[in-house]
Chains A and B, each alone.
Chain A
Amino acid sequence: GAVVSQHPSWVICKSGTSVKIECRSLDFQATTMFWYRQFPKQSLMLMATSNEGSKATYEQGVEKDKFLINHASLTLSTLTVTSAHPEDSSFYICSAKDRDSGNTIYFGEGSWLTVV
């Protein structure tokens, strides 16, 4: 099946610094990638949708200047958490829509962010 890879799997950063999470589709081209946030024992919350070569679309309540999303190629999207604070600590998951397989989206392994 289609593989989506995230890096890093976990990261610890100091409050006030920025951290970047990468999402790659390894064996397919993804015109659309989605970024989710998940708190413990809760469902996934869509943060934003990124389309290759265009600006990301953010969900209501998600600060676009804080969560910078770049989708520069058909296989890579990045999420940068800027000026991170402890409340940004969470599990971040990306997913990608296979350009050639209709409506199926595949998820990455997730990235744990801890801000201290």
Chain B
Amino acid sequence: LAKITQPISMDSYEGQEVNITCSHNNIATNDYITWYQQFPSQGPRFIIQGYKTKVTNEVASLFIPADRKSSTLSLPRVSLSDTAVYYCLVGDAGRRALTFGSGTRLQVQP
């Protein structure tokens, strides 16, 4: 299983762009990278998923370099409601091998 590391916490201000990087040095060929947002006492909410290069949706972008040993979640113009824990999940759901990072606690200040 991939070993995942993320920063424990990050601070930002409203309106800023936030980039959270996840390291997954031994990612396997079939593994995808998925990011989730979790608020207290709630299940994780899907944000974005990618395999390589760049993926963008209405809420975030995901940058994955060619070697795929890391990935960066980019949240444009964060607001107070983006204060949450962000998890990087690496694995192949079809093979059951899924590993969560320890989560990054993002605190957005006014």
A interface vs B, CB < 8 Å?
Answer: 1, 4, 6, 32, 34, 43-44, 46, 49, 57, 91, 93, 95, 97, 102-110, 112
B interface vs A, CB < 8 Å?
Answer: 32, 34, 36, 41-46, 49, 87, 89, 92-94, 96, 98, 100-103
Given contacts A57-B96, A103-B93, contact A93 B43 (CB under 8 A): yes
Whether A44 pairs with B100 at a CB distance below 8 angstroms is yes
**Residue in A4, A32, A106 whose CB lies within 8 Å of B96:** A32
Whether B41 pairs with A112 at a CB distance below 8 angstroms is yes
Whether B43 pairs with A43 at a CB distance below 8 angstroms is no
Whether B87 pairs with A6 at a CB distance below 8 angstroms is no
Given contacts A46-B98, A97-B93, contact A110 B45 (CB under 8 A): no
Whether A103 pairs with B44 at a CB distance below 8 angstroms is no
Chain A residue contacts of B94, Cβ below 8 A: 32, 97, 103
How far apart sit A49 and B93, CA to CA, in the bound complex (Å)? 10
How far apart sit A6 and B100, CA to CA, in the bound complex (Å)? 21
**Residue in B42, B46, B98 whose CB lies within 8 Å of A109:** B42
Whether B46 pairs with A106 at a CB distance below 8 angstroms is yes
Given contacts A34-B98, A46-B98, A105-B98, contact A91 B41 (CB under 8 A): yes
How far apart sit A52 and B40, CA to CA, in the bound complex (Å)? 30
Whether A103 pairs with B49 at a CB distance below 8 angstroms is yes
Whether A32 pairs with B93 at a CB distance below 8 angstroms is yes
